Amino acid sequence: MIHRTQEISLLDGRIALQALGAAFRKLAPGELARKPVIFVTAVGALLSTVLFLRTLLAGGAHTVVIGQISAWLWFTVLFATFAEAIAEGRGKAQAASLRRTRAETTARRIASPDASDWVAVPAASLQAGDLVLVEAGEVIPGDGDVVAGIATVDESAITGESAPVIRESGGDRSAVTGGTRVVSDRIVVAITAEPGQSFLDRMIGLVEGAKRQKTPNEIALDILLVGMTIVFLLVVATLPAFAHYSGAVIPVVFLVALLVTLIPTTIGGLLSAIGIAGMDRLVRFNVIAKSGRAVEAAGDVDTLLLDKTGTITLGNRQAAEFIPVQDVSERDLAEAAHLASLADDTPEGRSIVALARQRFGLTAGDPAGLTFVPFTAQTRMSGVDMDAAGAAGFAEVQDRPRSSSIRKGAPDAVLALLDQRAPRDLTSAVERVAKAGGTPLVVARDGRALGVVFLKDIVKPGIRERFQTLRAMGIRTVMITGDNAMTAASIAAEAGVDDFLAEATPERKLELIRAEQAKGKLVAMCGDGSNDAPALAQADVGVAMNTGTQAAREAGNMVDLDSDPTKLIEIVMIGKQLLMSRGALTTFSIANDAAKYFAIIPALFVASHPQLQALNVMGLSSPESAILSAIIFNALVIVALIPLALRGVRYSPAGAASLLRRNLLVYGLGGLAAPFAGIKAIDLLVNALGLA
């Protein structure tokens, strides 16, 4: 299944073989026209082939060289279509495994959620709004929302995660995906996707590249490439006039060769492969983008909105400290809290037990005689009641073998139980905990306050470093939390985010996004609930969690199948890498041209202006060999760069200045220098083989 662990090697033999066939099919004029630079190359190849045939039949100079040039021109076109084909091939390999899950299923359509009679219809014919009944063991026939019932669903088909998840009507976990399997219970699903528009369909379309539309940046780049091509057409078209004036005659095929080496064939040939590979990388990360545009926008993101819980902090709070009040000892408080938490199965309760045992070596005694009082939303506290016998069973309370009742809970709830007014140091302890970003839990025994348990939000390990990285990349992080401002400020400081929004409501979230956008910034966020949908839609990059509601999944422009909010950071990096790959190869392609001039210009004019031999700085052996070597280099460089196009250029998070310095050095200066060496080497080879 598509999962991060699965890697398709860059040049998988089977894919390469299939791509070879596809490369030839892509020679159809309609397909080529999508890539203007390659289209011009193909026209040049066709022209030189015709001229070659004419020379062959009628006789003329340079026949052998012209034949080879024609062949290499065709290779140039083929290498470009091959690059695209191989990128698509890798996507198709993923799509094929996806398709298998979309086996033909039959759906049980019902008229209303509580209807008992159903009609069997093929899943493919389901329309949005149809209601279907799905029971344990059945495959959910299409994307939709659970409108009745609760069930566990095995979503491993799309997420690769084997543990089943709960899906229920209402709330934030109502969305189900076609192709996933109900493991227990029965649910009624309202279909939300039209046939062929389902999640799975879109995913397949995206990884195959079939539905890929050019992104804004890609369009602008295409325009640049077309513009450069026209400039070079002008250069090459006017050259015969200047040559004629100078008493030189240039064979048309040599002019075609000059044109093709000058126009940016490298980036022109690899541009679509880069785009497809970018989507592919995202899918490999288990993120589905609804458009390439969103991936590109991710690279431009200025502000990242992150939910506190689950993203910045671990989902649950942990006991960090016992703060006794008045003359109560810390051990006393710990014992009471320990007892009250023994049956408390929440992560917070377990962490209290763990802390008490770690600090004072307490052990679990015999729970007989203990009556546990569970937490309810009404009382906002939990605790334990024990009779004298039960209490005696615990070593630590042996000196007070009498019945008692212990409560722990929200400060105001527990304080209401007290016999006397809250001691002053209790109030200050509660405040101290809140100020430090924690949650205070007051513990009381028999109407007397013992102290406060400091429940701390645990910031995820390593998250601070990630935010520093983001800051270096120029991205501002804003933490969103429902906590009050005091708590939020303290966690924000600990996690190292740049800003926070406390007491957040969906409306305030939306306001924040609009305010950032008004400042010209691009905002990314992730969300899962229905109330996140407006904000997800408003954000430039909205990543919906797969576990979220259908509304959220529709509103966002990406869906994270793993439902991991920190993945936003990776998405941003993939977006950046996509843009960088394009820029690097464009720079490389244009920088390459300098060397080609030094190869071809002296070759074209050395007959009429022998002194121009001085421009032959590479010392290429003959004019024919120089032209041939340049065109061979031009073709081979496309193949050589296919792995780079598929993998993307190396991206290490850093400021723009250092990224530019590094990339200019590698792709600018490297692009300037590489062809000098490459063309010279090919020239030596061409001569050794006696090709020219």
Does residue number 281 form part of the binding site for another protein (CB under 8 A)? no
Q: Which C-beta is closer to another protein: that of 118 or that of 597?
A: 597
Interacting residues of 502 by C-beta distance below 8 A, sequence separation 6+: 481, 483, 484, 485, 487, 488, 489
Q: What's the rounded Cα separation, in Å, for the pair 89 and 78?
A: 15
Piece in contact with another protein (CB under 8 A), picked from 37-45, 227-235, 354-362, 450-458: 227-235
Rule CB under 8 A: is residue 244 a binding residue for another protein? yes
- Please report, as a single letter, which amino acid is at residue 358: Q
Q: Where are the alpha helices (DSSP H) in 481-566?
A: 485-495, 506-518, 533-538, 550-555
End-to-end C-alpha distance for the chain, whole angstroms: 51
For another protein, the closer of residues 53 and 235 by Cβ is: 235
Among 659, 674, 679, 692, binds another protein (CB under 8 A): 659
Minimum distance from residue 246 beta carbon to another protein (Å): 5
Residue 511 as a binder of another protein (CB under 8 A): the answer is: no
Q: How far apart are CA 449 and CA 643, in angstroms?
A: 68
676: left (phi over 0), alpha (psi -120 to 50) or beta: alpha
Query: What stretch of H or E contains 38?
Result: helix 36-58
- Shortest Cβ 289–another protein spacing (Å): 16
Alpha-carbon distance 124 to 200, whole Å?
12
Question: Which of 20-28, 413-421, 548-556, 658-666 is the region at the interface with another protein (rule: CB under 8 A)?
Answer: 658-666
Beta bridge partners, 149, equal 187
- Which 570-589 residues touch another protein, going by CB under 8 A? 575-577, 579-580, 582-584, 586-587
Examine residue 594 and tell whether it contacts another protein (CB under 8 A): yes
Amino acid at 481: T
**Among 317, 476, 509, 567, which residue sits at the site for another protein (rule: CB under 8 A)?**
476
Of the candidates 400, 405, 407, the one whose C-alpha atom is nearest the C-alpha of residue 344 is 407
Tokens standing for residue 574: 């993939």
Minimum distance from residue 605 beta carbon to another protein (Å) = 7
Binding flag, residue 519, another protein (CB under 8 A): yes
Identified binder of another protein from the candidate list 11, 111, 136, 220, rule CB under 8 A: 220
14 near another protein, rule: CB under 8 A: no
Residues in 256-275 at the binding interface with another protein, rule: CB under 8 A? 262
Q: Is 227 near another protein (CB under 8 A)?
A: yes
Kindly tell me which of 447 and 474 has the beta carbon lying closer to another protein: 474
Question: How far apart are CB 651 and another protein at their closest, in Å?
Answer: 7
Alpha-carbon distance values, 80 to 149, 321, 634 (Å): 53, 64, 11
The nearest distance, CB 126 to another protein, in angstroms, is 40
Q: Which stretch binds another protein (CB under 8 A): 144-152, 222-230, 326-334, 506-514?
A: 222-230
Interface with another protein: number of residues (CB under 8 A): 71
Residue that has been written with the tokens 């691009």 in this structure: 522
Q: Which two tokens stand for residue 155?
A: 């979503």
Active site residue 307: yes
Instruction: For the CB of residue 83, give the shortest distance to another protein in the complex, in Å.
Output: 19
**Cα(462)–Cα(460) distance, integer angstroms:** 6
Question: What count of other Cβ atoms lies within 10 Å of the Cβ of residue 521?
Answer: 16
DSSP code string of 436-494: TT-EEEEEEETTEEEEEEEEEEEEPTTHHHHHHHHHHTT-EEEEE-SS-HHHHHHHHHH
The token duo for 636 is 């081979």
232 binding another protein? (CB under 8 A): yes
DSSP annotation of 279 reads H
Residue of 229, 215, 257 lying closest to 67 (CA atoms): 257
Residue 193 or 262 having the CB closest to another protein:
262
Contact between 374 and another protein per CB under 8 A: no
Rounded to a whole number of angstroms, the CA Rg of the chain reads: 34
Site for another protein in 285-344 (CB under 8 A): 296, 299-300, 302
Q: How far is the CB of 250 from another protein (least distance, A)?
A: 10
The verdict on 56 binding another protein (CB under 8 A) reads no
CB 380 within 8 A of CB 373: no
Which residue from 50, 111, 223, 493 is in contact with another protein, where contact means CB under 8 A? 223
Query: What residues numbered 603-622 form the site for another protein, per CB under 8 A?
Result: 605, 609, 611-612, 614-615
Binding residue (CB under 8 A) for another protein from 122, 171, 374, 655:
655
Q: Segment near another protein (CB under 8 A), from 81-89, 213-221, 406-414, 430-438?
A: 213-221
Q: Which stretch binds another protein (CB under 8 A): 144-152, 162-170, 239-247, 424-432?
A: 239-247
The region of 230-238, 281-289, 354-362, 399-407 touching another protein under the rule CB under 8 A is: 230-238
C-beta neighbour count of 674 within 10 angstroms: 18
Dihedral angle computed from the Cα positions of residues 62, 64, 65 and 68, in that order, rounded to the nearest 10 degrees: 150
Site mask for another protein (CB under 8 A), range 159-198, x = bound: ----------------------------------------
Owner of token pair 């990884």: 207
- Pairing label, strands 186-191, 165-168: unpaired
Catalytic residue from among 172, 307, 344, 560: 307
Smallest gap from residue 77 Cβ to another protein (A): 22
- Cβ contact 445:418 at 8 Å: no
Instruction: Give the nearest distance from C-beta 242 to another protein in angstroms.
Output: 5
Contact range with another protein by CB under 8 A, out of 78-86, 219-227, 542-550, 631-639: 219-227
Q: Does 246 interact with another protein (rule: CB under 8 A)? A: yes
Which residues participate in catalysis according to the annotation? 307
